[in-house]
Amino acid sequence: MTAPISPSTVETSRTSHRLQLPRDTDPAAVLTMVRNLRPAAVQGADGAIELGDGLRLLPDSSPRGVGRWTLDTPRVREDPLPEGMGDSHGYGRAFPEGIPFGPERAGLDLAWSLGRRLYGAVVTDSGARLEPNPFHIRDLTVVSPHALAPESLAELLGPLEPEAELDEVPADTPRTGYSVSIPLPEGEEISLRVGRSSRPAALQAVGWLEDAVDYELVHLTADPEEDAVEAPEPETADRWQLVYRRIGMIAGLLAETVGGYVVDLEGFLVDPADLA
């Protein structure tokens, strides 16, 4: 009779992908951003960041490796991306034989997001380069301990966004559960939605988070498939940047007025000073 093999004795194949950031990127900033999404991440004396789930980010200590990190990860692949499916991260192009899955996918998503926020890129184990557009994610949320009544929010937005319209609000609506629409050119709009907070991981230590309010600023594009494009056309990229700056101005005004923190759609903290 063959003795059963303990799962702990089965070796999982591993692979690595490279995160390339600008040479002047502070390693401490990388750790801070990682902990926005993975608060339990730990950095060792050698600078390596243990992410959990068998994932590690290893800094390149060579003289020419400034700004480079290696994502050491289990290698887990599933079927190739179906033809015609959206591929905003470029994984279908980079992994034609099978898309990363499970912990490898989670690690790659983190590396891609760090590249987006820090103006970098990811080079996969196959040599494919993934270079996210910095404005691929434009939505921002102000997480605050204070809720504005609908009429107060409309009054606040008036000088900055004179075309903002308070969506139909039932008479008994409290200070959450309502929205404001801000029209944009070409049939687009910014939707400002006020509701109970989703309590992002980056703010888990904040004492008032349990009762917090989210002011969620969402870019509604005329083409719902637009965000599934890996490399937008220059005109689209320019429009994304303009919309992000407009959303950023609203988020900055809200943060200054009601207090709290700004996070992006992926959960990274955003400094309001960078939104001016």
| 179 and 66 fall within a common domain | no
Whether residue 20 is predicted with pLDDT greater than 80 in this model: the reply is yes
Above 50 in pLDDT, residue 97?
A: yes
Under 8 Å between Cβ of 152 and 144: no
Per-residue model confidence as pLDDT tens digits over 126-145:
999 999 999 999 999 999 99
**What does the pLDDT read at residue 257?**
97
Report the mean per-residue pLDDT for the chain.
Answer: 93
User: In terms of domains, do 213 and 179 share one?
Assistant: yes
Burial class (CB in 10 A: 0-12, 13-18, 19+), 63: exposed
pTM over 0.85: yes
Residue 63 confidence (pLDDT): 85
2 lies in some domain: no
Q: Which helix (H) or strand (E) holds 245?
A: helix 234-258
pLDDT greater than 80 at residue 223:
yes
The arithmetic mean of pLDDT across residues 164-169, rounded, is 88
Claim to verify: residue 237 and residue 154 sit in the same structural domain: yes
How confident is the model at residue 174, as a pLDDT?
64
267 and 150 share a domain? yes
User: Would you say residue 7 lies in a domain?
Assistant: no
Please tell me whether residues 260 and 154 are part of one structural domain: yes
Based on the domain organization, do 46 and 155 belong to the same domain? no
Give the end of a domain, one of 130, 160, 184. 130
Q: How many helices (H) and strands (E) does the chain have?
A: 5, 14
SS3 49: strand
Provide the number of structural domains found in the chain.
2
Is 90 exceeded by the pLDDT of residue 12?
A: no
**Is 191 in contact with 179 (CB distance < 8 Å)?**
yes
Phi, then psi, of 43 in degrees rounded to 5: -105, 130
73, 98, 130 - which closes a domain: 130
SS3 content of the chain, % helix, strand, coil (to 5): 30, 25, 45
Average the pLDDT over each of 61-70, 99-108, 197-206 and give the range with the smallest value: 61-70
Q: What does the buried/exposed string (b/e) look like for 188-221 if buried means 16 or more CB atoms within 10 Å of the residue's CB?
A: bbbebbbeebeebebbeebeebeebbbbbbbbeb
Domain residues for the domain of 212 are 140-275
How large is the C-alpha radius of gyration of the chain? 21
Of the candidate ranges 60-64, 71-75, 261-265, the one whose mean pLDDT is the lowest: 60-64
* Of 115 and 7, the one with more pLDDT: 115
Instruction: Indicate whether 110 and 163 sit together in one domain.
Output: no
Q: Which of 73, 99, 130 is the last residue of a domain?
A: 130
Task: Give pLDDT, residue 4.
Answer: 44
pLDDT of residue 224: 86
Looking at the fold, whether 150 and 220 belong to one and the same domain comes out as yes
Say if residue 28 is in the same domain as residue 55.
yes
pLDDT in tens, 228-261: 999 999 999 999 999 999 999 999 999 999 999 9
pLDDT the model gives residue 10: 40
List the single range of 67-71, 190-194, 221-225 with lowest mean pLDDT.
221-225
Q: Region 216-223: what's the mean pLDDT?
A: 97
